[in-house]
């Protein structure tokens, strides 16, 4: 094998310096305790950077010690601590955070009222324009099917405004902070709160075209939950009693 290489002609290859030689080399000390904060990891890496310049480049590359700060407009996850339909008189005086759709919006006597709906039911939201003007202004601009997060205190309704047809008809939530999670920019093709037996009920073709709105209707939500419970009962019975194994 050595005789073979010796028989080959000697060729001198001279190549241009690689552009990578002009780039700095980064050495990270992996023995340093790491942290889950990406900003501190970047700052520590940049501060411990060792720069090596190529002989062909007289300039020395300097990496600034920049810091990355989170954006003030970063999306924050909003979580509820209570459901609309589960509030009762026992929650009076409790501070709650609710999330749901605007089912009804009305202005009466200088106050703005909103019926907030989620999968458990509806609760009335009222505003306090003197105490919380920002929340009052935001609620006034809401429209049907806006997705909002509302934080406030549960209080009893006045005796003359009690609604016995609602499960939460004896209480209301005084809004102190209102955040719009998703706005409705166009006109709704049909009202989500309209019953199936109503005269102005939408045609099935329109409902199927706007399926995302159709599934919000109480009738459709009830059907989905009923189907889930039936399938769950069947599976538990077949698995626990008859040792069935479900295979897809």
Query: Could you report the per-residue pLDDT of 186-225, keeping only the tens digit for each?
Result: 888 888 887 665 666 678 889 899 998 999 888 898 999 9
Q: How much is the pLDDT for 110?
A: 78
Q: Which helix (H) or strand (E) holds 179?
A: strand 171-182
Q: Give mean pLDDT, residues 110-123.
A: 91
Q: How many domains does the chain have?
A: 3
Position 44 in a domain: yes
More confident position, 30 or 70:
70
Position 46 in a domain: yes
What is the rounded CA–CA span in Å between residue 98 and residue 208? 29
61-108 confidence digits (pLDDT tens): 554 554 555 555 556 677 899 999 999 999 999 999 999 999 999 988
- Domain boundary (146, 162, 182) is at 182
Q: How much is the pLDDT for 175?
A: 95
Q: Are residues 159 and 209 in the same domain?
A: no
Side-chain-facing half-sphere of 56: CA atoms under 13 Å: 8
More confident position, 21 or 97:
97
Q: Are residues 149 and 102 in the same domain?
A: yes
| Contacts (Cβ under 8 Å, ≥6 apart) of 28 | 45, 48
- 226: domain range? 190-248
Residue 26 sits at the vertex; the CA angle it makes with 24 and 27, to the nearest 5 degrees, is 145
Q: Are residues 172 and 208 in the same domain?
A: no
Q: Are residues 120 and 175 in the same domain?
A: yes
Position 154 in a domain: yes
What is the rounded CA–CA span in Å between residue 148 and residue 167? 21
- Domain boundary (145, 163, 182) is at 182
Position 230 in a domain: yes
Q: How much is the pLDDT for 4?
A: 52
119-177 confidence digits (pLDDT tens): 899 999 999 999 999 999 999 999 999 999 999 999 999 998 899 989 999 999 999 99
Q: How much is the pLDDT for 77?
A: 74
Q: Are residues 93 and 170 in the same domain?
A: yes
């Amino acid at each position: 094998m050595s005789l073979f290489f010796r028989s080959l002609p000697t060729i001198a290859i001279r190549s241009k310096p690689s552009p990578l030689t002009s780039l700095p080399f980064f050495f990270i000390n992996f023995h340093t305790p790491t942290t889950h904060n990406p900003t501190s990891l970047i700052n520590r890496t940049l501060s411990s950077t060792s720069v090596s310049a190529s002989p062909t480049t007289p300039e020395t590359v300097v990496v600034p010690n920049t810091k990355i700060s989170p954006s003030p407009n970063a999306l924050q996850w909003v979580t509820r601590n209570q459901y609309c339909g589960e509030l009762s008189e026992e929650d009076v005086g409790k501070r709650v955070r609710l999330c749901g759709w605007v089912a009804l919006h009305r202005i009466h006597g200088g106050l703005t009222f909103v019926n907030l709906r989620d999968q458990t039911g509806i609760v009335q939201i009222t505003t306090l324009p003197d105490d919380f003007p920002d929340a009052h202004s935001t609620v006034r601009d809401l429209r049907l099917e806006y997705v909002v997060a509302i934080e406030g205190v549960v209080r009893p309704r006045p005796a003359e405004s009690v609604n016995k047809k609602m499960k939460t008809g004896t209480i209301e939530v005084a809004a102190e902070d209102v955040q719009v999670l998703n706005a409705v920019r166009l006109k709704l093709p049909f009202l989500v709160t309209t019953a199936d037996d109503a005269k102005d009920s939408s045609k099935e073709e329109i409902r199927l075209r706007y399926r995302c709105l159709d599934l919000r209707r109480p009738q459709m939500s009830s059907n989905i939950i009923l189907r889930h419970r039936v399938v769950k009962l069947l599976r538990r019975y077949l698995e626990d009693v008859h040792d069935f194994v479900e295979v897809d």
